[in-house]
Amino acid sequence: MTPMFINGQWVASESGELFDVLDPATEEVIAQVPNGTAADVARAVAAAEAAFAEWRWVPGVERAAMLHEATRKMAAHRETLVHLLTLEEGKPIPENEEELEWVIGTFDYYAEMARTYRGRLLAPAGRSQFNFVMKEPYGVVACIVPFNYPLLLLAWKMAPALAAGNTVILKPANETPLSTLRLVELAFDHFPAGVVNVITGDGPRAGEPLVTHPAVPVIAFTGSTAVGQRIARLAAERIKRTHLELGGKDAFVIAPDADIETAIEAVAYASLLNAGQVCTSTERVYVPHRMVGTFAGGLADYVNGLRLGPGLEPTTDIGPLAAARFREKVAAHVADAVQKGAKVVAGGSRPGQFPRGFYFQPTVLINVNHTMLCMREETFGPTIPVMGYSDFDEAIRLANDSDYGLGAVCRTNDPRLAKRFFEEVRAGTIWINDPLTDNYGGPFGGMKMSGNARELGEEGLESFLETKHVHWDFDDSPKEWWYPY
């Protein structure tokens, strides 16, 4: 049993109950962790709240040093963390090596921001006045993290929250708790007790008590829109600060001038990274009508050449999905598309060579339209639906025809089309030619039903800081506008 971490101690749940963590490549149990309850949440909140009383006053330069020390420890245990990520989440080792590098870089980035970011001076309204804006930590931050990038999406919340002077309670997904627990054990043992805590358990038992606890003012969540809506409703009772990064249905528009061969490679990467389990995965591809046949045929040949297998195998390009229910959703979306007239030109089913493991073939669909689930709802799997368009006006209209607005990609060398695309498409991140590349200084987040959060950049730190305006008048004499008139 791998215990939880509360107030600097490794502890079991008060319930004594456990749940299994599976290897998605084999479906074998690799560990058991506590199924936490509201009582465990209460212990963690009490510890985090007590620690905040001192942690908030630790000078920024000291918090920066502790965060940098954490990154040195992560780097020293790189192989251990990458192996564990691969074992419990499933994506290939190169993708997890990249994830860990981003985790290290994120903590280093916010460590430096902790040294300097506190507020700003304002121009006073009078000679004897001093006005300034202070940025203060909220207190206890709940970081609820999904399975697909267990440490990266944790870092995007945890690093700025700690840099800002908050304490944190981490709740990893049930599919991937082990890497979070191991990261805290290896890299954060030098932090004061109670500053970092980890609760494991499912949503109703552990997640909801964390969201509703009156001493937790900020909820930072990445996951499905449905769960985000539930969190928003629960948090609204106490007007809590919600930091919600939710689902996506990202469009990829291939402009008429784009080179087909490189577009095929770009689309395959954007659609199939982590078996399509990326919130900014390309889930809708729009190609000029005249290019659809050539593009789809070339794409089918390309994805048929990619190698499925366990993430720990060095020859693997695409690993399994993280759980059986995610594979079932992908299969349902493909079946719905075929029933409504779509054609499968590559993949489309569970691969026969893997009797166990949550694999699904990379799948290319044509003859799709916006009545199909694969074009409306988040699939979160290795599917690539390809749809034709008549002109660039229609391409932009189709890209915007979604409840989601997380990201969007365009392949073009025409600056006029690129400018139209980033100005007219309603999405939080626009990639021109280079899909799914992030920047520590560039805010990440969505529009519409993709959430209200911005992670990374200064905006990522601002999410965990409360604003206070101070008006200070050095002259304490009566003012002429006071009573009596």
Q: How does pLDDT run across 426-448, given as a tens digit for each residue?
A: 999 999 999 999 999 999 999 99
Q: Decide: 223 and 144 in contact? Cβ < 8 Å.
A: yes
* Mean local confidence (pLDDT), 328-332: 98
What residue spans of 249-385 are helical by DSSP H? 260-272, 292-304, 324-339, 373-376
Give the confidence band of 116 by pLDDT, cuts at 50, 70, 90: confident
Joined tokens for residue 366: 């044509």
Give the confidence band of 392 by pLDDT, cuts at 50, 70, 90: very high
**Pick from 98, 101, 91, 80: nearest CA to 23:** 91
Please name the residue that has the structure tokens 């799948």: 363
| Per-residue pLDDT reduced to its tens digit, 240-267 | 999 999 999 999 999 999 999 999 999 9
CATH topology for 250-432? Answer: Aldehyde Dehydrogenase; Chain A, domain 2 (3.40.309)
Give CA–CA dist 395/408, Å, rounded.
12
* Mean local confidence (pLDDT), 178-201: 98
The verdict on whether 279 is a catalytic residue reads yes
Q: Decide: 455 and 156 in contact? Cβ < 8 Å.
A: yes
Q: How many CA atoms lie within 13 A of 407 on its CB side?
A: 26
**Pick from 483, 467, 481, 479: nearest CA to 129:** 479
Please name the residue that has the structure tokens 């109950």: 17
pLDDT in the model for residue 131: 97
- What's the gap between Cα 215 and its chain centre? 24
Give CA–CA dist 343/445, Å, rounded.
33
- What's the gap between Cα 381 and its chain centre? 16
Strand order in the sheet with 282-288: 343-346, 363-366, 383-389, 282-288, 250-254, 407-411, 429-432
Q: What percent of the chain has pLDDT over 90?
A: 98
pLDDT in the model for residue 111: 97
Q: Decide: 11 and 181 in contact? Cβ < 8 Å.
A: no
Q: What is the pTM of this model?
A: 0.97
Catalytic residue among 279, 283, 377, 378: 279
The listed CATH number (2.60.40.10, 3.40.50.880, 3.40.605.10, 3.40.1190.20) that belongs to domain 4-246+451-470: 3.40.605.10
- Helix/strand/coil for 49: helix
Give CA–CA dist 58/192, Å, rounded.
11
* Mean local confidence (pLDDT), 9-27: 96
Q: How many CA atoms lie within 13 A of 447 on its CB side?
A: 14
Joined tokens for residue 444: 């990440």
Give CA–CA dist 163/155, Å, rounded.
11
pLDDT in the model for residue 151: 98
186-220 core/surface letters (b: 16 or more CB in 10 A; e: else): ebbeebeebbbbbbbbebebbbbbbbbbeebbbbb
**Pick from 432, 250, 273: nearest CA to 362:** 273
The verdict on whether 143 is a catalytic residue reads no
Which class for 400: exposed (0-12), middle (13-18), buried (19 or more C-beta within 10 A)? Answer: middle
Q: Decide: 232 and 212 in contact? Cβ < 8 Å.
A: no
pLDDT in the model for residue 117: 83
**Pick from 166, 155, 143, 27: nearest CA to 101:** 155
Which residues have C-beta within 8 Å of that of residue 300, sequence separation ≥ 6? 345, 346, 364
Give CA–CA dist 327/347, Å, rounded.
13
Give CA–CA dist 60/108, Å, rounded.
13
Give CA–CA dist 150/404, Å, rounded.
23
Q: Decide: 397 and 409 in contact? Cβ < 8 Å.
A: no
Cα-trace Rg, the chain: 24
Give CA–CA dist 129/471, Å, rounded.
7
139-162 core/surface letters (b: 16 or more CB in 10 A; e: else): bbbbbbbbbbbbbbbbbbbbbbbb
Catalytic residue among 95, 175, 245, 455: 245
Joined tokens for residue 226: 């449905």
pLDDT in the model for residue 1: 84
Other Cβ atoms less than 10 A from the Cβ of 320: the count is: 30
* Residue range(s) of every CATH 3.40.309.10 domain in the chain: 250-432
Q: Decide: 432 and 266 in contact? Cβ < 8 Å.
A: no
Which helix (H) or strand (E) is 155 found in, with range? helix 152-163
- What's the gap between Cα 68 and its chain centre? 22
* Residue range(s) of every CATH 3.40.605.10 domain in the chain: 4-246+451-470
Torsion, Cα of 165, 169, 171, 172 (10° steps): 50
pLDDT of 6 over the 90 cut: yes
Treating both helix axes as pointing N-terminal to C-terminal, what angle do 152-163 and 93-116 enclose, rounded to 10 degrees? 10
Report the chain's mean pLDDT, rounded to a whole number: 97
What residue spans of 7-119 are helical by DSSP H? 38-55, 60-76, 78-89, 93-116
- Helix/strand/coil for 346: strand
